[in-house]
Chain A
């Protein structure tokens, strides 16, 4: 019968309307539809065609109902979009990298093969990224829907804390250029302290009452000399950056080359068991020395790789900012 289509439309529209308003809204909607159909019929249309035309003009019933009830037809609106995006970007910079490091370290310590480590890390990072997207978005979608408050009250609530509305005080500080004289001095002092520590370790030893060093004595003198040359190059690079006044792409490449020149031989020596002094732990922990040596080697390897990767990325970031 001709009422069915209208009934179905009203039912569909009322599905998402709160119980309280339902009967009132349904009655009004039914009367309006009836009025519109009557008008069309009076103008000479057939009843069925008129009903179809009226309901088609009203459009998607869910959308109509959303208009009635102020339901939000978006996940995150303009009020929270920027906060959502900033937080998500921040977390995506930090969390997956930490997760990758942790998973890879754990897998390696557990004795997984290279393929297993790569697979587990990749899978873990994907899962972490998916979780980040999901939970952050869920929290913001709930926030978007959970405020029966007037805009004024909302403002009072969000004046402080992480949801503070934007103000001039929140403009980002200019980034450190990394090209000041202080950068050069700090880096050089740091390198000198490292060199002194390495020499002290090899020639005198940190462990009292034992002349065993942390580093393999076989590294002396040529490997160590090579390392010192690279450290001098690093210091020279910092000086050139200071003279130029800013990082450039060329400096970043040189920085990456030095980082790789330190890290790759160090990792190779580590894999050969020639970087750390195997004797030291075998002496200190006679029973489990071999196993402790292996764990220590893995942790050292991850440390070297992480520092090198960060140094390379840092150089390119500084070069990009200085453009």
Chain B
């Protein structure tokens, strides 16, 4: 495995949970798949369509998101919104991430 491949793998693992957190916090205002994908990427969360869509499904199945079809426009879209359980999960994840960040800050300095 080359150095860049190893870096890619590690970055992927490091970021895995952050997309979930970002979705839960962004979807306090209802949003649909593609719009969310754009917003995530513009906010610096690199995400692919083929990871995001299954992720939304899973969060919905777990009850962290609710969904509703909007058929007002020419293209019907499924809108997701963070549920009460999803909000609680988001705060727990945010707190934990802050804890991890401060723990990393407390590590010995890099040279």
A67 to B54, CA, bound (A): 5
Binding site for B on A (CB under 8 A): 24-25, 27-29, 31-32, 34-36, 39, 57-59, 63-64, 67-68, 70
Q: Which of B35, B69, B78 has the most CB of A within 10 A?
A: B78
- Interchain CB contact under 8 A, A35 and B50: no
- Interchain CB contact under 8 A, B53 and A31: no
- Interchain CB contact under 8 A, A57 and B32: no
Q: Which residues of A contact B50 (CB under 8 A)?
A: 57-59, 63-64, 67
From 34 to 56 in chain B, residues with beta carbon under 8 angstroms from any chain A beta carbon are: 34-35, 38, 48-51, 53-54
Binding site for A on B (CB under 8 A): 32-35, 38, 48-51, 53-54, 57-58, 69, 75-78
- Interchain CB contact under 8 A, B49 and A58: yes
- Interchain CB contact under 8 A, A32 and B53: yes
Q: Is the interface of A mostly helix, strand, loop or mixed?
A: helix
Q: Which residue of B is nearest A54, CB measured?
A: B49
What are 10 pairs between A and B in contact, CB < 8 Å?
A: A27-B69, A28-B53, A28-B77, A34-B75, A35-B77, A36-B49, A39-B34, A58-B49, A64-B50, A64-B53
- Interchain CB contact under 8 A, A32 and B49: yes
A35 to B73, CA, bound (A): 13
A32 to B37, CA, bound (A): 10
Q: Which residues of B contact A24 (CB under 8 A)?
A: 78
- Interchain CB contact under 8 A, A31 and B32: yes
- Interchain CB contact under 8 A, A32 and B76: no
Q: Which residues of B contact A32 (CB under 8 A)?
A: 33-34, 49, 53
Minimum distance in angstroms from B105 CB to a CB of chain A = 33
Q: Which residues of B contact A64 (CB under 8 A)?
A: 50, 53-54
- Interchain CB contact under 8 A, A68 and B53: yes
Q: Which residues of A contact B51 (CB under 8 A)?
A: 67
Minimum distance in angstroms from A42 CB to a CB of chain B = 12
Q: Which residue of B is nearest A37, CB measured?
A: B34
Q: Which residues of A contact B58 (CB under 8 A)?
A: 70
- Interchain CB contact under 8 A, A28 and B33: yes
Q: Which residues of A contact B54 (CB under 8 A)?
A: 64, 67-68
Minimum distance in angstroms from B23 CB to a CB of chain A = 15
